[in-house]
Structure 1
Amino acid sequence: MSTPSPGRGSGNGNGGPLDGAVVAVAGAGGPAGHATLLRLAEAGATVVAADADAERLAQGVDAARFAHGGATVTGDTVDLLHLGAAQEWAARIEKDLGRVDGLVHLVGGWRGSASFGETDLADWDALHDLLVRTVQHTSLAFEGPLRRSGNGRYVLVSAAGAARPTAGNAAYAAAKSAAEAWTLALADGFRMAAPDGPPPAAAIILIVKALVHDALRAERPNARFAGFTDVRDLADAACQLWSRSAEEVNGTRLWLTPQP
């Protein structure tokens, strides 16, 4: 597999594995987003980050720029609950930088209850927006640019609970499961785009039990976080998807925690 050839988004010029690639990160304001921005910048990508929280987004963008001198990392405040906003964001990236080689979708959220009978359907409404609607919008907005890239990647982060829902996590598990199904449909679309050859892009699901970061460890020094995935390991796993062919990874569910 060849590394994406440099376009107008020419990365850091450091010869990294993603040098010349343009990668967007949705939901970049949280700990996983910050770690992913850092890792992508280190790999040489031109990184375009988005989040609804402008302050948290700016913190992540500034940290990635500072850690990797010369890195091109920019941030846009985008409301991904609106399809038009997602489409405008994708179109602007492709117009300004000449290509879009990846979209890492990190928009998250969690709500649960003590028992199945206590499930509040308001939780479903909120999680449907955060975990399903934003996936629908980013996938529809970026499908064309990723396909035109010739080596695009759409990366969704999901949860092990989608496959084995528990009584108190009905809304969360159902939303994650729906997001996975939508992403696998995108993968099939990439496959159908080149019926006689390798797909022009790939959609992949990374599965974690839950995520952990240094601040959370400091807040809970006695917690074991068994089976949790460090946000830096998640970022590494996302970046490594470009080192494998689109045909190999398209439509796959890659476990970053022990599979039940």
Structure 2
Amino acid sequence: MGNGNGALEGAVVAVAGAGGAAGRATLLRLAEAGAVVVASDNDPVRLAEAVDAARYAHGGATVTGEPVDLLDLGAARAWAAETEKEYGRIDGLVHLVGGWRGSASFPQTDMADWELLEKLLVRTVQHTSLAFHDALVRSDRGRFVLISAAGAAKPTAGNAAYGAAKAAAEAWTLALADAFRKEGGEEGPAAAAAILVVKALVHDAMRAERPNAKFAGFTDVKDLAEAVAGVWDEPASEVNGNRLWLTEKP
């Protein structure tokens, strides 16, 4: 994939779950590519820090942040509507909302973990995709980008809840991709839903905390952000409904 600069110049991209390390890297990369970035997170402090960092790194870039409860479909729809009203268009939704819970063995799986992960990893995807669908179809370069994990394709015994939630989020995103395909008709989809698959993510602070760790197969958040930007470089028909692997397939 290319550098995303030309394809993202002037694009309006929403980023859900922008307060973490992956969110920070993604805001920076999108701002660098010339996009208008509209970020959300359920942690106002982390969100403000991420937005300020992107603004500081790229003077003149439009990067805004708004706490949004993505477990509330109405709030997600209001975020999409307000964004489109303010900027006149929405060209992307990058879904970075994450979370992890695991157990030592399959029989020790705590169903409370599933209840939490179903909300974080599935419900938020459902709500953002439903809220942003219409605007992405109206765009001439609409993209819905889900960050998923290799564990969705090959879950381990201690990650039953996590793997199942990631698999459900992927299935929902692929259904969105099918909707884009059908709505495009004979000309092909104008918008695309793509899945970026990682084993796990790593960033500089993690390396500093564990200097001897190998982090084998992990994807650096900067590389993830580069791959996110690259989704706009390819025609919608080539990325729609595809899993783009950033780690070795299991």
TM-score by length of 1: 0.94
Amino acid of the structure 2 residue aligned with 1:62: D
Aligned with 2:121 (options 113, 120, 131): 131
Could you list the runs of 4 or more consecutive aligned residues of structure 1 that deviate by over 6 angstroms after TM superposition?
none
- What displacement does 1:18 show? 1.2
Aligned with 1:99 (options 74, 89, 93): 89
| Stretches of structure 1 lacking an aligned partner (at least 5 in a row) | 1-14
1:237 to 2:202 alignment: no
CA distance in 2 between counterparts of 1:142 and 1:187 reads 13
Amino acid of the structure 1 residue aligned with 2:189: P
Percent of aligned pairs sharing the same letter: 73
CA distance in 2 between counterparts of 1:16 and 1:247 reads 19
CA distance in 2 between counterparts of 1:96 and 1:244 reads 27
Aligned length: 246
1:121 to 2:111 alignment: yes
CA distance in 2 between counterparts of 1:258 and 1:137 reads 30
1:20 to 2:10 alignment: yes
Query: What does residue 4 of structure 1 align with?
Result: none
- Report matched runs for 1:238-257 at 5 Å: 238-257=228-247
RMSD: 0.8
- Report matched runs for 1:27-38 at 5 Å: 27-38=17-28
Query: What does residue 189 of structure 2 align with?
Result: 199
1:213 to 2:203 alignment: yes
Query: What does residue 258 of structure 1 align with?
Result: 248
Of structures 1 and 2, the one scoring higher in RCO (CA 8 A, sep 6+) is 2
Amino acid of the structure 2 residue aligned with 1:56: R
- Report matched runs for 1:135-150 at 5 Å: 135-150=125-140
Amino acid of the structure 1 residue aligned with 2:115: D
| Stretches of structure 2 lacking an aligned partner (at least 5 in a row) | none
TM-score by length of 2: 0.97
CA distance in 2 between counterparts of 1:136 and 1:194 reads 21
- What displacement does 1:16 show? 4.6
CA distance in 2 between counterparts of 1:212 and 1:194 reads 37
Residue aligned with 2:187, SS: coil
- What displacement does 1:218 show? 0.6
Query: What does residue 143 of structure 2 align with?
Result: 153
CA distance in 2 between counterparts of 1:163 and 1:17 reads 31
